[in-house]
Amino acid sequence: MLKKDWYSVVLLCLLLAVGCREHGDDRETLTAGADQVTTTQSEVKPDSGVVKTVDTPAISNNELLPTIRWQDAPYHIGETVFLVGQIANTGKSSSGHRFLNFGRRRNDVTGFIGRDVVAQFSAPPEETLKGKKVRIRGELYRYSGKPNIRIEKPTDVVVLPDDASFSELATKKPVLIKVGDVVKICTLNVLNLFDSIDNPYHKDEDTNAKLREDLDLLAKSIHHIDADVLVLQEVENRGYLNDFNRALLSDLGYRHVVLTEGNDRRGIDVAVLSRLPVGPVTSYRHLTFPDANGDAMHFRRDFLQVRIEPEKGKPFDIFAVHLKSKYGGEAGDVTRLGEARMIRKLLDRLLQKDPQGRFILCGDFNDTIESPSMKAIVGAGDGALKTFFDEVPPAKRITYNLEPYQSMIDFILASPAMAAEYVKGSYQIFSGSPSETGSDHNAVVARFRID
C-alpha cells in the first residue's frame, strides 16, 4: 500500500511539473507577443518613462525609392529600388528556387524568388510572369558577378499593362532649374515639419508628426511660390527635410539641403533649400553672449549663415533666423532681445570688414518691426538693414495668420549693398492658413539681382 501511494505521489508531481511548464510557456509566449505589439505601436524614451505613439509615416519609403529600367541595375547595386522591365524567360532550380530573367544574355538581370517565398504565390510565378511587363521592389545585389534583385513576397511584383512605357515609369534624373540674373528668395515657417519617430535626445514627444494632408498642402504652397532659395523654420531634422524634398518637391530642383542641428529642446531647426550652389555654412549655435539682463545664453535655435555661390553671378550670404517666441512673456522678451543684439553685433563685424558685404537676413523674428528686438537688428546709420515691406498694403502685412494674433513677424532684410540689387516691387506676402497652406505663417518673398 505504501509502495502504491509512493508511485501515486511521483506521478502527481510529474503531472504538476509538466502542467506548470506548459503554462509557463504560454505565459512567456503571451508576454513576447504583447512586447512585440508594444514595440511596433510606441517607443519609450530611455530613462524618461514617456511613451510616444508612432504613427504610420506620412512619407512612405516607397515614395523615396527610385524606379529604374532593368538595364540600369548595375549602377544601383546595394540599393532598394523599383525595377521595371519585361520578363524574357524564367527558370527553376532543383532545390525549388525560381528565376525571372529580364534579358537573354547570361549577365542580364535576374529576379530571385527563394523556395520559401514561392509557396506564398497563388500560382507558379515562373508560369504566370513569363513574358509579362513587371515592376519589382527589392534590393539589388550581385551573385557570381551578375545583377540580381531579391523578391521577398508576392506583393513585391506588380504586373504592368502591356502598353506600359519603361522610360516613362523610370525616375527622372534630378531636375536642374537654371537661375538667371535674378534670384527669388522666400522665408517660410513650415509649422512643425516633424516625423513620427521619437528622438530620445529631444523633447519632441509632445509634438505630433505633420499629417500627410498638411504635407501635401505645404508642398502645394511651395510649388506656388517657386523660390530659388527657400529659408525654412521649424524643421525637425535634415533627414526628414531631405525626404520631404525628394518625395514632394523633386520637380523644383532643390539640389542643396542645408540644416545643422541647433539648440532647441524640442528639436526645431532652421534650414535652407537652394537651386543655386552652396558654399561654406556657418552655425552660431555654440556662441555664448548676454541676454537683455546680462545673463549668459546661446541662440535658442540657431543663427545659420549659408554662402550662396551662383555659377554666373556674385556670391552672397543668407542668414536664417528663428528668434525666441513670445511664449513666456517678459522672460521671452529678454531672450529675444539678447539674440537680436548678438545678431546685430555679428552683422556689424561683417560690415566693418567689408562695407559692401552682400547678405540677406530672413526668417521668423517673432516680433513686429517696431519692437526693441527688431530695431536692434535693423540698426541705424550707414549699416542699417533695408526693409521692403512698405510695398505691401498695410491691410495685407500679415505673416502670422492665426487669430487673434495676426501680425507681421516674418521678414526679409538686406545689407546696404544687397539692397541695391533689390528688384523694386517684388516684395510679397502669400496669404494663407493651416487649412490652406499647412502652416500658421505666410510666406514672404523678395527678388534680387545677382549678375
Superfamily of 182-449 according to CATH? Endonuclease/exonuclease/phosphatase (3.60.10.10)
Whole-number pLDDT of residue 55:
57
Cβ-based burial of 407 (10 A; exposed 0-12, middle 13-18, buried ≥19): middle
3-class DSSP state for residue 45?
coil
Cβ-based burial of 286 (10 A; exposed 0-12, middle 13-18, buried ≥19): exposed
- CATH 2.40.50.140 describes domain 67-169: yes
User: Which residues of the chain are under the pLDDT cut of 70?
Assistant: 1-55
Place of cell 524574357: 88
DSSP conformation letters of 123-192: S-HHHHSTT-EEEEEEEEEEETTEEEEEE-SGGGEEEPPTT--HHHHSPPPPP-----SEEEEEEEEEEE
Whole-number pLDDT of residue 4:
43
How far apart are alpha carbons 40 and 57 in whole angstroms? 13
Residue 209, all three cell numbers: 508628426
Among residues 277, 259, 98, which one has the least CA distance to residue 193?
Answer: 259
How far apart are alpha carbons 90 and 192 in whole angstroms? 50
Beta bridge pairs of residue 321? 363
The H or E element that residue 429 is part of is strand 428-430
**Contact between 199 and 209 (Cβ < 8 Å):** no
Q: Pairing state of beta strands 410-414 and 42-44?
A: unpaired
How far apart are alpha carbons 235 and 232 in whole angstroms? 7
For CA atoms 73, 75, 79, 84, the dihedral sign is negative
For CA atoms 283, 286, 287, 293, the dihedral sign is positive
How far apart are alpha carbons 17 and 284 in whole angstroms? 67
Domain boundaries, the chain: 67-169, 182-449
Among residues 433, 429, 426, 428, which one has the least CA distance to residue 447?
Answer: 426
What pTM does this model have? Answer: 0.81
Whole-number pLDDT of residue 206:
83
